Amino acid sequence: MKFGVWFCILSVPFNMSKLFALLDCNNFFVSCERVFNPSLRHKPVVVLSNNDGCVIARSNEAKALGVPMGAPFFKCKELLQRHRVAVYSANFPLYGDLSGRVMQTASEFTPELEIYSIDEAFLHLDNMPEPYEYVKSARETIRRHTGMPVSIGVAATKTLAKAANHIAKKHSTDGIFCLQDQETIDRWLRETPVEGIWGIGYNKGDFLKRQGVLTALQLKEMPDAWIKQNLSIGSLKTVWELRGIPCLESQDNAIDKRAITTSRTFAKEVTSLEELSEPIAAYIANASEKLRSQQSVCGYVQVYLTTNRFKRERYYANAAGIDLTPPTAYTPDLIAIAQKLVKSIYKPGYGYKKAGVVLSNLQPQSTVQDFLFEPTYDSSRRQKLMDIMDHWNNRRNTAKVFLAAEGMGQDWYNEAYKSKRFTTRWDELLEINI
DNA sequence: TCTGGGGTCCTAGGACCC
DNA sequence: TCTGGGGTCCTAGGACCC
């Protein structure tokens, strides 16, 4: 482990000055809705999670009204109505498309762009002489090309760039902050509670506070051995990053996912095995489409079920999985296996509230060896059938091809406040009346 | 009545072997 | 049959992130 940390230092040549910019879209989902509906600007807006369950994005005006992040919709509905807050159901096709446009524009400003999440990316700006002017121009270009407001923080490590971004959002007038001179860094560290650091969550923050480590500055000054013994090697990296030593490796964006999950909460409780079969089939179809889009096959499939986790009485949750030999990405086989798995964990007499599937042990389709007795995914007509289905389903504005097992898309979920898919469906284009 | 979804990484502990 | 220590590998679950 020690070697790993030393390697972090040695891998940075001394004459090379590392510099990172963290670009973060402001209130991303809300901003997406505003791009296509400018009348929402300067008004309180929230976006709800799937099934209209929780608040997952808030405009600054909604934050000012005291709408908490993650608040269950039913608990704050009255507050939202009272203040005439605009409410939207999550529209992930729209957000994913806008995210792609923002990242594309950002990538024109750096040879190395690390996409960290749907609304965040690190730009590598090593040895950049005038980072402020540079990211300012990036920010303006993104705004002009996509309509998306972003904040940018610049610093010598990713953890500090994250902090700089936070300062840019809260305190700067132009959405940009460079956290570079040591005096400013230490002043910020002194004023920041330890749980405000990227990588220190609720549990570690709570532990640190009980140990008397209250601020980011105190954390930075704790001995390495203590951090390693009481927290983890990951936390030690965080501490070194606070000291200005880059320890977080680049995430190669080309690396494929290690697992693919699809799950949903149902609008109502589902009781019969037959009713559970359809959403499970639909989740497998969804997950295996993602699997094929990264040219992978999966070697393990898992299915899980759970009743309402907020109800103490009659709670039941279970999962079952199975190794796949040979690994596959063939939807019909995966559905058949998933149906057997769900049957093995289903218990009658319970009202199920959520179900999901996980595809894991992913490997590139090209490396799968031939099996003597079993046809592999790519050695038969199966792959061709999937290719045709994917091709058809990826065309914009065509009816989706799906398997009968997925059902006709009953009203499993709530989404009462959904905006149109302005950028991915011809029949939902924005209409302008002149 | 109504409480999200999709990831990654690390660690503790069990199984197994010598 | 009982005794011990040390190592690897795997997996479930915790912690964290957006």
Q: For chain C, which bases have at least one atom within 7 A of a protein Cβ?
A: 12, 14-18
- CB of residue A306 closer than 7 A to nucleic acid strand B? no
**How far apart are the C-alpha atoms of A270 and A232, rounded to whole Å?**
41
CB A327 within 8 A of CB A297: yes
Identity (one letter) of the amino acid at A296? S
Mean pLDDT estimate for chain A: 91
At A157, list the tokens: 């490590």
Q: Is the pLDDT of residue A94 over 90?
A: yes
SS3 category, A330: coil
Q: Is the CB of A162 under 7 A from strand C?
A: yes
Nucleotides of B under 7 A from a protein CB: 1-11
Predicted local distance difference test score (pLDDT) of residue A254:
61
Which residues in 136-155 of chain A line strand B, with CB less than 7 A from it?
none
Q: Would you place residue A11 in the very low, low, confident or very high pLDDT band (cuts 50, 70, 90)?
A: very low
Convert the pLDDT of each residue in A284-333 to its tens digit. Answer: 999 999 999 999 999 999 999 999 999 878 889 999 999 998 899 999 99
CA dihedral A201, A197, A63, A138 (to 10 degrees): -130
Top-confidence residue, A174 or A426:
A174
Q: Name the percent of chain A lying above pLDDT 70.
A: 92
pTM of the predicted structure, to 2 decimals? 0.92
- The four Cα atoms A48, A49, A50, A54 give a dihedral, to 10 degrees, of -90
Burial of A173 (0-12, 13-18, 19+ CB in 10 A): exposed
> Mean per-residue pLDDT for A35-49?
97
d(CA A233, CA A227): 8
Spell A330-341 as b/e; 16+ CB within 10 A means b: bbbbbbebbbeb
- CB neighbours (10 Å) of residue A76? 20
CA–C1' gap, A230 and C11, in angstroms = 24
Question: How far apart are the C-alpha atoms of A71 and A92, rounded to whole Å?
Answer: 19
Q: What CA–CA distance (Å, rounded) separates A239 from A198?
A: 10
Render the burial of A256-277: b for 16+ CB within 10 Å, e for the rest: eeeebbbbbbbbeebeeeeebb
Closest nt to residue A309, judged CA to C1': B3
Three-state secondary-structure class, residue A149:
coil
The pLDDT, as a whole number, for residue A394 is 83
Model confidence pLDDT, tens digit, residues A176-212 = 999 999 999 999 999 999 999 999 999 999 999 999 9
Task: Look at residue A373 and tell me whether its pLDDT is greater than 80.
Answer: no
* pLDDT the model gives residue A6: 43
Q: Which two tokens stand for residue A5?
A: 């940390």
- Residues A240 and A5: beta-carbon distance below 8 Å: yes
Calculate mean pLDDT across residues A212-221. Answer: 97
Query: Which nt is closest to the CA of A290, judged by C1'?
Result: B6
Establish whether the CB of A119 is closer than 7 Å to any nucleic acid atom in strand C.
Answer: yes
Residue A54 Cβ < 7 Å to strand B: yes
